[in-house]
Each structure stands twice: as C-alpha cells, then as structure tokens.
Amino acid sequence: MNTLIILSALGVITLFAEIFRFRKALFPIILIGLAGAFAATAFEYCDNPQPIFNMMIFDKYGVAFSCSLIIICFLWFMMARNYFLQETSVTDHFALILFALVGAVVMVSYSNLVMLFLGIEILSISVYVLAASDKASILSNEAGFKYFLMGSFASGFLLFGITLIYGATGSFDLMAIQHYAAASNSSTGILTIGVLLMLTGLAFKCSLAPFHFWAPDVYDGAPTTVTAFMASLVKTAAFGALFRLFYTCFAGISGQWTSVLWWFATLTLFIGNVSALRQFSVKRMLAYSSIAHAGYIAIAIVSMSVTSAQAILYYTLSYSIATITAFTVLYIVERNTGRNDFGAFEGMAKNNPFLALVTTIAMLSLAGIPPTAGFFGKYYIFMTALNSHNTQLVIIAVIAALIGVYYYFRVIISMYFKPEKSDIPASIGSLHQIVLFITTLLTILLGVFPDWVLRWI
C-alpha cells in the first residue's frame, strides 16, 4: 500500500512542477521517489501478507513484480530524460508515466477483479496519450488513435468477461472465484464464456496473436522512448496480471482454456518471428520481436506449474532490460541519422565501439544466446513447459527461437561487417552511457546469477 501512496504522490507532485517552478529539479526528485518506492515495496516482502480491504494483496508475487516494474521504470527515466526535456510539456509526460506505473503495480497486486480493471484502465489511458504525444508526427497520432480504439474494444471484452464471472460466482474476489471454480458444479457455460472473454481481453493487452495486429503500427508510430515503455513495463504488467488471475482462479478448470492459450502461444511465436524477418526497419523489427516474446511467456502460463511465476518474472525482467538497451541505442541512432533501418547501424563498430558492444549484447540476449539473461529466460520457460509435459510446445518454441536468431544477427552483421557510415554518432551523452552500462551489466549478471531474481518468489 505504501508503494501506491508514494508513486501516486510522486505523480501529483510532478504535475505541480510548472506551477511552483521546480521543473529543473524534477528529474532527480522522480529518481529519488522511485528509489523510495522500491524500498517501501521491498519492505512489504513477507511470508504472510495481509489483504488490503480485500481488494489488493502485496504477497511475494506482487512484491517481486512491483519491484521489477519500478526497476524498469527507473531505467526508462534515465533513457528518456533527454527526449522529454525537449518538450514543453515534460511534466505532463513524466506524470503520465508515473500514473501508468501506478496502474501497473495495481495490475500485479490485485485480489479483486474490480482492481484488475481499474489498474488496466489507469495504465492504458496514460499510454494512449503517450503514444500520440508527438503532435507533429502523423504516425504518432495514428498510433494513439489505433491504440485507443483497439484498447477500448478489448476492455469491453474484459469487462463483459468480469460481468459473466460475477454472474456465475456472485463475487469479484479471487479466492471466492477460485472456490467456486474448484467446486464440482463449476463447469457452467456462463463461467467458461466469462473466462474466455477475459482471456481475449488480456491477450490483447499482452499482444498475443491473433490479437496482436495493433502492436506493429502502434509501436512503430509512437515515439521511440514510448515504444520502449510499452514493450517493457506495459508487457510485464500485462503478463503479471494474466498469470495471477488464471493461476489463482482458474487453475482448477484449466482444461477449459489452456488449449486456447496453447494456440495463442503457437500463433504468436510464428507470426512474430516470421513477420520480423521481413522488416527493413529496426524499430518495426523490435515491435514484431516483442510480439514473439509474448509467445514465449505465454508458454509458462499454459504450463501452469509452480515454477511458472519464477519463469515469467525472470523472463520479463531480462527481456525488459535488453529491450531498454536496444531502444536506447535506436533512439541515439534516430536522433543522429534520422533513420531507423538496418542501414543506419552499418559500420557502428568502427565509429562507436561501445555503442556496438552494448547493442550486440542486447541482441544476443533477445535472441537467447548464452551466457546472457535472455538465454536463461528461455531455458526456465522451456523447463517449466517440459516439467508440465508440454513437449510439443517446447519444440515449436525452439524452432521459432532459431528463426529469431536471424533477424537479431542482421543488426550485429550491419554494425561489424558493413562499411562505416559517417553519420553514426561517435560519442553519446553521459546519461545514456550510464543507462547502457547498467542495462548491459545487468544482462550479463542476471545470466550468471539468475538466483538473484528467482528467489524473489
């Protein structure tokens, strides 16, 4: 609860930065506030958490995912500071990000379906605005409009599913729903339809196929920094919410929805990876890559194992850190060259070896090459699936991962084996150097010491 209070207060304080003229001090205030929120969240870590008004619960799962979200947001602010300082509405942008983080924390800590819906809407509305925040760009306006329309449509599915589940069980409380679903008379049509509708709505938020169609255009049209936020923090929150709901409430009736999610994961893996092969824009390639990674995470939910939560937490954190690295480099390249295609990376290793090195490590992690964190993320996902006898799904995922290696290595080949381009930046700002160093170091350390994350849950 203290986490939500700190983050909400930080968002409100940010809104008053212009009025009370402390805009220049806003960035360090936000970083200090996020550090305080992380400490407050970690302090709530215990074996017997108490529900908060029967609406939220900061159990080990909620605390671990909340800490992960705050870490991602902290790194994102360091990445995006220079971009938003160019905007006159910097306080509005920062406030939207902080309120989106509040919604994300609610999404991974709810114990009532009402709070799940509120968390999703708090997060979504903020990101709708951020996606369209580049008012001079037609693509950004289009991205915001598409995201708003499709997101509202998906929220309708989610809300209708919540309504049907309430009609079947008579409660919004997760434990009450769990007890009803586990009862012998739980296989009612109204409950099954409600579960599938909720799965559809959350699949949209997670960009799982066939509900992924909004993601490439929105990711491509939104400002690069906002795309990084959506591909990391938003995706982590969405899967955190999805797993909490289905593991807590519907594990007892898994036969009614796991086969559907199995096909969602399979389609997502192949559509994401095969579509990424055909892209000429690195930004759009990373958008389809994000879709493909959603398929890997969905495997852990299909498996519904006791280790699924650990696998999802580790995978989303390692993926998000590598994604922030990749989008930070892409932002630097875009700002200096005005391009985001593969050709813009040509010869980077000669002109800026540090930038090429961190990009290489990020691409290797996203591709799942050892000893990076991305490799162990896929390893834990696959082991979770194998322990639950989902061998076919693992074989499909391995084939999809091999396809993904090709387009990640296209970036590496462009940097090291193509002629040097004079417009590639020879130096970068100190803040970007710091964030790239931190994310790259974390990518390596989490690969070497995965227990740092796995023992959280």
For the stretch 117-144, pLDDT in tens is 999 999 999 999 999 888 778 888 888 8
CA angle 207-213-216, nearest 5°?
85
Q: Which is nearest to 388 in space by CA: 249, 246, 258, 253? A: 258
CA-CA distances (angstroms) from residue 212 to 154, 291, 439?
A: 11, 7, 27
Please tell me which of 42-56, 86-100, 243-257, 396-410 the model is most confident about, judged by mean pLDDT. Answer: 396-410
pLDDT band at 27; cut points 50, 70, 90: confident
CA distance readout (Å), 277 to 55, 274, 404 = 44, 5, 8
Average pLDDT over residues 146-161: 90
% of the chain with per-residue pLDDT over 90: 56
Helix-strand-coil split of the chain, %, nearest 5: 80, 0, 20
* Residue from 91, 102, 157, 92 nearest 124 by CA: 102
* pLDDT-above-70 percentage for the chain: 97
Q: Is the dihedral of CA 203, 205, 208, 210 positive or negative?
A: positive
Which pLDDT value is given to residue 321? 95
- CA–CA gap between residue 170 and residue 180 (Å, rounded): 9
DSSP string, 279-329: -SBHHHHHHHHHHHHHHHHHHHHHHT-TTHHHHHHHHHHHHHHHHHHHHHH
Mean pLDDT value of segment 13-18: 84
Q: Residue 404: which residues within 8 A CB-CB, separation 6 or more?
A: 273, 276, 289, 292, 366, 367, 368
Q: Are 174 and 51 in contact (CB under 8 A)?
A: no
pLDDT tens-digit map of 274-306: 999 888 889 999 999 999 999 999 999 998 888
d(CA 36, CA 3): 9
- Paired with 112 in beta bridges are 173
AA identity, residue 7: L
pLDDT band at 7 (very low <50, low <70, confident <90, very high): very high
User: Rg (Cα) of the chain, in Å, rounded?
Assistant: 21
Whole-angstrom distance, CA of residue 125 vs CA of residue 147: 10
pLDDT at 216 exceeding the cut of 80: yes
User: What is the band of 317 on the pLDDT scale with cuts at 50, 70, 90?
Assistant: very high
Q: Please identify which residue in the block is written with the tokens 């305080």.
A: 36
Q: What is the pLDDT of residue 345?
A: 87
Mean pLDDT of 373-399: 92
- CA distance linking residue 134 with residue 295, whole number of Å: 30
Q: What is the pLDDT of residue 23?
A: 72
Residue 88 reports pLDDT greater than 60:
no
Mean pLDDT, range 390-396, rounded to an integer: 91
Cα 166 from Cα 195, distance rounded (Å): 11
List the beta strands (DSSP E) in 152-296.
none
What is the 8-class DSSP label of residue 16?
Answer: T
User: Which tokens in the block code for residue 200?
Assistant: 């559809």
Quick one: which H or E segment has residue 25? none
Two tokens, residue 191: 């409950």
User: Which string of DSSP letters, residue by residue, matches 344-361?
Assistant: GGTTHHHH-HHHHHHHHH
Which residues are CB-neighbours of 174 under 8 A, at least 6 positions away?
110, 111, 112, 113, 244, 245, 248, 249
Scan for tokens 């350390």, then name that residue. 445
- Give the pair of three-digit tokens for residue 225: 């920094």
Alpha-carbon gap, residue 107 to 110, rounded angstroms:
6
The 8-class DSSP code of residue 372 comes to: S
First to last CA, the chain: 19
Please name the amino acid found at residue 175: M
Given this model, what pLDDT does residue 384 score? 92
